[in-house]
Amino acid sequence: MKKVTLYSRSPRPSAATGPAHGDGTAQAAQAAGTPGAARRWRAAARRHASALWALGGALVAVGTMGTLLALRPPGQALTQDDIDKAVRSSLEKEPLPSEAAKAYEAILPSVVRVIGLMDDDDKGDDKPERRAMERSLGSGVVIIDNGTILTNLHVVWGAKKIRVRFFEGTESDATMIGAQPENDLAVLKASSLPDDLEPATMRSTADLRPGDHVIAVGNPFGIGPSVSYGVVSGLKREFRSPEGDKTLTNLIQFDAAANPGNSGGPLVTMDGQVVGIVTAILNPSEQRTFIGIGFAVPIENAAAAAGLPPF
């Protein structure tokens, strides 16, 4: 399978460029008939989900205008108030999904559940319940369509065996092929893949700002995939592990709810692109629950752990 790693330098989609040679229509028709074209179209649709939803909203507005003009009594002028009421009525009947919902839909096919099995006899099922509690549970995100996955090192450290579950239910054994202990990152490679596996699009954090909206996607307490919504609270933060033996630096601070099991999952902007890997939550008490401060490793560090080129 061809390796594909997707990058975006900016939250704004690039302007489309015309064909360099020949008839662009003929080239598009030829591309549509090649193997894997359907997968590429689906991936492109998810990467530009916001633009597609905006186009859909525009079409709704155009349809509403057409209906108003058809129903308008002869000689009566169409006012702005008429237009506003009609658009509101259309959106109430068919509301557009939220920005967070669109971002979640875009990233979902790339999110995996990561299970670290601590017992050679554990087959990875959910019974008996005692064994399920003894496992290390976390999340991960596919970054190359050959089955390369980013997660946290602490999720898989010490595991006898690693298993991953893809979004559509396919399960596979995985091996750790790289690590970056200073950033609590691990790189996994799945041995078997679902059809049309789609990697996430990674985006530089250079223009990320406090207040930007983000979602955290993962499997908190093994329940998921789940999504939470919030904002970037700060940049270039430091976090010391509860044991005090490790300090992580240059972290993204965020307030989207994260709990044990979210570790290794993606932190995603509203355009559905990954800017970080969720790695820790600040918790001054003994209860392992979220109090409003989470941390993520910037995707630049995470991509470097997998040996990928910089943005």
Cα–Cα dist 236/257, whole Å: 20
Token duo for residue 165: 């579950």
Find the DSSP H helices in the chain.
24-32, 37-47, 49-71, 80-93, 99-107, 129-134, 153-156, 299-305
Is the residue at 287 inside a domain? yes
Q: Which residue among 139, 172, 263, 271 is the active-site one?
A: 263
15: confidence class by pLDDT, cuts 50, 70, 90: very low
276: confidence class by pLDDT, cuts 50, 70, 90: very high
Average pLDDT over residues 169-179: 94
Strand-pairing partners, residue 6, are 201
Look up the domain containing 64 and give its range: 49-96
Helix, strand or coil for residue 258? coil
Annotated catalytic, 10?
A: no
On whether both 139 and 222 belong to a single domain, the answer is no
Mean pLDDT for the chain?
A: 78
Token duo for residue 142: 């596919």
Token duo for residue 46: 């998810």
On whether both 206 and 296 belong to a single domain, the answer is yes
On whether both 209 and 246 belong to a single domain, the answer is yes
Cα–Cα dist 118/205, whole Å: 35
On whether both 169 and 210 belong to a single domain, the answer is no
Is the residue at 252 inside a domain? yes
On whether both 207 and 291 belong to a single domain, the answer is yes
| Amino acid identity at 280 | A
CATH code at position 159 = 2.40.10.10
Q: Which residue among 110, 122, 154, 255 is the active-site one?
A: 154
Q: Which comes out higher in pLDDT, residue 132 or 249?
A: 249
On whether both 275 and 241 belong to a single domain, the answer is yes
Token duo for residue 55: 């186009």
On whether both 181 and 249 belong to a single domain, the answer is no
On whether both 61 and 123 belong to a single domain, the answer is no
Please identify, among 190, 223, 258, the residue that sits at the C-terminal boundary of a domain: 190
Looking at residue 159, the DSSP 8-state letter turns out to be -
Residues 6+ apart with CB under 8 A from 292: 255
Average pLDDT over residues 151-180: 93
200: confidence class by pLDDT, cuts 50, 70, 90: very high
On whether both 225 and 293 belong to a single domain, the answer is yes
Please identify, among 96, 126, 160, the residue that sits at the C-terminal boundary of a domain: 96
Give 227-252 pLDDT, tens digit per residue: 999 999 999 999 987 665 678 999 99
Is the residue at 195 inside a domain? no
Annotated catalytic, 110?
A: no
**What's the number of domains the chain is made of?**
3
Average pLDDT over residues 284-296: 80
Q: Which residue among 122, 184, 255, 271 is the active-site one?
A: 184
Q: Which comes out higher in pLDDT, residue 155 or 36?
A: 155
Q: Please state whether beta strands 171-180 and 6-8 pair in parallel, antiparallel, or not at all (unpaired).
A: unpaired
Give 55-80 pLDDT, tens digit per residue: 555 555 555 555 555 555 665 676 77
| Amino acid identity at 214 | V
Q: Are 186 and 176 in contact (CB under 8 A)?
A: yes
Annotated catalytic, 21?
A: no
pLDDT of 120 higher than 70: no
43: confidence class by pLDDT, cuts 50, 70, 90: low
pLDDT of 275 higher than 70: yes
The pLDDT score that the predictor gives to residue 13 is: 44
On whether both 90 and 120 belong to a single domain, the answer is no
| Amino acid identity at 279 | T
Peptide bond before residue 225 is cis, with ω within 30 degrees of 0 = yes
Is the residue at 66 inside a domain? yes
Please identify, among 190, 216, 235, the residue that sits at the C-terminal boundary of a domain: 190
The pLDDT score that the predictor gives to residue 232 is: 97
The pLDDT score that the predictor gives to residue 246 is: 77
Is the residue at 58 inside a domain? yes
Is the residue at 39 inside a domain? no
Q: Which comes out higher in pLDDT, residue 156 or 243?
A: 156
